[in-house]
Amino acid sequence: MKTILVTGGAGYIGSHACKALATAGYLPVAYDNLVYGHERAVQWGPLERGDLLDRDRLAAVVAQYRPAAVMHFAAYAYVGESVGDPGKYYHNNVTGSLALLQTMCAHGIDKLVFSSTCATYGNPVHAVLDESHPQAPINPYGQSKLMVETMLRDFDRAHALRAIALRYFNAAGADLEGVIGEDHDPETHLIPLALGAAAGKREPLAVFGTDYPTADGTCIRDYIHVQDLADAHVSALQALEQGAPSGAYNLGTGEGRSVKEVLDAIEKVTGISVPHVFGDRREGDPARLVADAALFQRAFGWRPQHSDLPTIIRSAWQWLNRTAS
């Protein structure tokens, strides 16, 4: 059984990737400092508590488990916080990733799947974004991820460390078996905030902007089920094992859903109308962010299987009710 080191393996997407790895026959070793991750989310392999910036601890874990490859999720990911404290994001996301890459090289590990983001594109120029879209991040979070993508290309050229960067759009939903789910603190994502409001566990949802140039005036986003994301990571890993070259790919569905459409879908799934209030637009929120993921689909034969809006909402609702009980 091959061992895979999963940085950030106690987090939202990382823990789902650990489950997907175990299902595919790998042993995932979660390496997480538990600042935002949850120990209870690590159920498919060992948890090693540590920080990427603690090079001695990282090297010891790598030497102990001798992973065949790495999935790299560990990062700070709050856009607003990154604007107010950019040093925190560059130190953790960029310097931490550099420490990881150097540790991999020192131990002869030459395959990595990287959790990147559509935030590397910045303000969209086109209605649907493919990988040729200019990368011009508008916040330090997106910039930090773009800097890591640059490092990956350089490490490939210098050290033959092959890496596939996956630029997510809007991850959503929860494990379809109800074992793990989204549990951020603070929570900033639309669907868990809306479901929390519907359940009476949060304040009414704030809808920012109703005058966008969209059919109903609210923002449009591309929501992809977290299990589809996790499966895509396994597909990328298996391609690297078969000799695939480095690359960067979008992960999304190609279908945009507005905030109002999400609220209507929540009411259909739960039978509860989401309490909400309308506010002004937030600075930096584009009207539409939708992925063209055809490049990844063609290269790896992956297709989203669970990313229809009712399935996303139903899984997240079940997770919310399970954690409440």
Strand, coil or helix: 3: strand
Q: Spot the catalytic one: 12, 31, 89, 141.
A: 141
User: Which amino acid makes up residue 255?
Assistant: E
Nearest partner of 20 among 171, 176, 163, judged by Cα? 176
SS3 assignment for 65-97 = HCCCEEEECCCCCCHHHHHHCHHHHHHHHHHHH
DSSP one-letter code for 187: -
Give how far Cα 273 sits from Cα of 190, 197, 207, 266, 267, Å.
Answer: 15, 9, 14, 8, 5
Active site residue 141: yes
CA dihedral 320, 321, 322, 325 (to 10 degrees): 120
Contacts of 88 (CB under 8 A, 6+ apart): 76, 81, 82
* CA–CA distance, 297 with 249 (Å, rounded to integer): 9
The span from the first CA to the last CA of the chain, in angstroms, equals: 36
Q: Is the dihedral of CA 236, 242, 247, 250 positive or negative?
A: negative
Q: Give the position of tokens 């951020």.
A: 184
| Residues that are catalytic | 141
